Structure 1
């Protein structure tokens, strides 16, 4: 059986992409100033589903301009190493990792499908040393930097699973966000996770007859 997990807010207790972008911005005065100038426009765009990809691409380009593919991967690997060392305000959710292991123990296949860039998500997940397939947002070069190509969110997560050979339905889905409703609706056992009361409120809004909520 297939168990599908979101990453940020589900397996991780924060937004890995936002933290990585800010980490890159704060290390460079020009990037920092450019981020501050762009933020009043880009951040509201990120918050709105229709403009999220464009807003994220603005901040992504500022953080990565000047990086070739090798340097991009090295940046993600360095970020992941500092995350593993506990040097960043980002942690694995204990219940999330335990749930992963329970699925592996039961012989299930596990896929993480995330709006985070695939290259970043893979770097973060690799040290877990588990056979996890990662599907995320693809990036492309644009004017010397990197921007989002295919943004892996909402219905696109289901399309990514189908394109990877996992069909239209899966046994389990875990996420903290109602932006993942298509993912939840495709699962036989959908689970909304988070702090107890918030997860239950989201479950009520989702109106999933087979859904459950869990405090992670």
Structure 2
């Protein structure tokens, strides 16, 4: 990135009392499950890991499908996909390798409408923060493609666990709101997310916006969120919401 294109020159530094705006990452700024794509790549790189994952799917698959057990199911796949990695340095190196070898795919998955909304908030001087269930290092590396790598990212903390890598603290559901508050993002002016797991975040925001939701979740959002809450589609095929171009 050239000096003229640096984020510090493109956007004003937000004031300490500026409105806090929170974006989810997957299915909000990025079309898909970013760490799921990394995990699939890790599993496919090693035939033994692929076989173990397939053998474990009758147990782990249903766990991932249901919110109360989703964290445990995903952790099982992460353990299989990262077995043999020694520490955070090895894990971060694998994330860097994935991003470096999938640049075209990643660029295609970044949603232009979402990025325009993100730019608008930054240009207005808002305190923008990304809160994601993915590792923050992955989200930062992807945001670097579009000159937003300086946006604060709060994500799932990952560390060594039983010979592989596992979540030390999962940035998910109510825990996401707690992690935001611990970092000083107490009063949330606006929040953007696709996920029913982010209902605590959306309810905490003065102006929640649902983007790219699953069709089966739309009625739930309409019932639980304030009347008139926008439910939009920012370009995720197969997802619900009013299309925005």
Give the TM-score normalised by the residue count of structure 1: 0.90
Q: Does 1:193 align with 2:208?
A: no
Question: Can you give the 5+ residue segments of structure 2 that lack an aligned partner in the other structure?
Answer: 1-18, 235-245
Name whichever of 137-146 and 97-106 sits farther off: 137-146
- Structure 1 match to 2:80: 62
C-alpha distance in 2, partners of 1:196/1:33? 30
Alpha-carbon displacement from aligned partner over 1:155-199 (angstroms, at most 9, x marks no partner): 1111010011111x2111000112111111111111001179778
Partner residue in 2 for 1:93: 111
Rounded Cα–Cα distance in structure 2 between residues aligned with 1:198 and 1:52? 18
Q: Provide the aligned C-alpha RMSD in A.
A: 2.1
| Mapped pair 1:212 → 2:225 | no
- Please state how far the C-alpha of 1:89 moved relative to its aligned partner: 9.4
Which residue does 1:142 correspond to in 2?
Answer: 161
Q: What is the match of residue 166 of structure 1?
A: 185
**Aligned residue pair count:** 214
Measured in 2, the distance between the counterparts of 1:51 and 1:141 equals 21
Runs of 4+ in 1 over 6 A off after TM superposition: 195-199
Residues 38-82 of structure 1, C-alpha deviations (whole Å, 9 max, x = no match) = 122112112222222211111001111111222210111122223
Return the structure number with greater strand share.
Answer: 1
TM-score of the pair, normalised by structure 2: 0.80
Structure 2 CA distance for partners of 1:42 and 1:100, relative to 1, 3 Å: same
Contact 2:156–2:170, Cα closer than 8 Å, also in 1? yes
